[in-house]
Amino acid sequence: MNFANLATFARIFLSVFLCHMILINQVNLIVILLFLLAFGSDWLDGFLARKIKKVTDFGKIFDPIADKILVFSILICFLKINLISAWLVIILLIREFLMSSARILLSRHKIIYSANIYGKLKTVLQFFAILVLIFSLQKFDFYNNIFYNSGIFLIWSSVLFSFVSLFLCFFENKKIFLKILNGDS
């Protein structure tokens, strides 16, 4: 197993630890640093896999899954402690299922649909939103509301960009999706 794949596994295990710390209300500097490490490992494993030409089928499949596990496990923890709305998580999950389904359908037509700029922006916004919301769990008094409101703004902004990226996926491949809807394929 190469380093990139180990980083993917590490992100999954870090997700469990981060959730545990959030749920027992023990968010501290270590949790913040581990979240930064987990999110940074997403970039690092992809960079290393391409740089040393060790892109594997495992990495292609599990890297995005590890990303979703990291983001959604923390969002569900935020939901459990009443930091965010259930609607937010539901809307983001619907988008992820639709995008994954679209990618599967496109792959059957020999099209690999990579994340567009809006999907990448969604990911960056989710990262900063989660980071800022983790900061809001600290007892900063005055700054707590600033972190919370900024985090909520960022996470809803990610929702907007996630649907823009989904719309573009369908728009750019509308002929294929129309064929599929008509039962031609």
DSSP string, 100-133: HHHHHHHHTTT------HHHHHHHHHHHHHHHHH
Please tell me the distance from the alpha carbon of residue 42 to that of residue 46, in angstroms, as a whole number: 7
Q: Write down which residue in 82, 104, 119 finishes a domain.
A: 82
Q: Are residues 25 and 77 in the same domain?
A: yes
Q: Are residues 71 and 89 in the same domain?
A: no
Domain limits at 144?
85-185
- 83 backbone dihedrals φ, ψ, rounded to 5°: -90, -30
Q: Enter the pTM of the model.
A: 0.89
Q: Write down which residue in 82, 108, 141 finishes a domain.
A: 82
Residue 64 · residue 45 · CB < 8 Å: no
Q: Are residues 94 and 44 in the same domain?
A: no
Q: Are residues 67 and 111 in the same domain?
A: no
Q: Are residues 78 and 91 in the same domain?
A: no
pLDDT at 167: 96
Q: Are residues 95 and 152 in the same domain?
A: yes
How many domains are contained in the chain?
2
pLDDT tens readout for residues 78-118: 999 999 999 999 999 999 999 999 989 998 888 888 888 99
Torsion angle of the four alpha carbons 177, 179, 180, 183, in this order, in degrees rounded to the nearest 10 = 160
Q: Are residues 125 and 164 in the same domain?
A: yes
Residue 169 · residue 99 · CB < 8 Å: yes
Query: Tokens in use for 109?
Result: 């037509």
Q: Are residues 100 and 182 in the same domain?
A: yes
Q: Are residues 9 and 72 in the same domain?
A: yes
pLDDT at 158: 96
Half-sphere exposure at residue 101, Cβ-oriented, CA atoms within 13 angstroms: 10
pLDDT tens readout for residues 23-57: 999 888 899 999 999 988 877 777 777 777 777 77
Q: Are residues 50 and 98 in the same domain?
A: no
Q: Are residues 41 and 105 in the same domain?
A: no
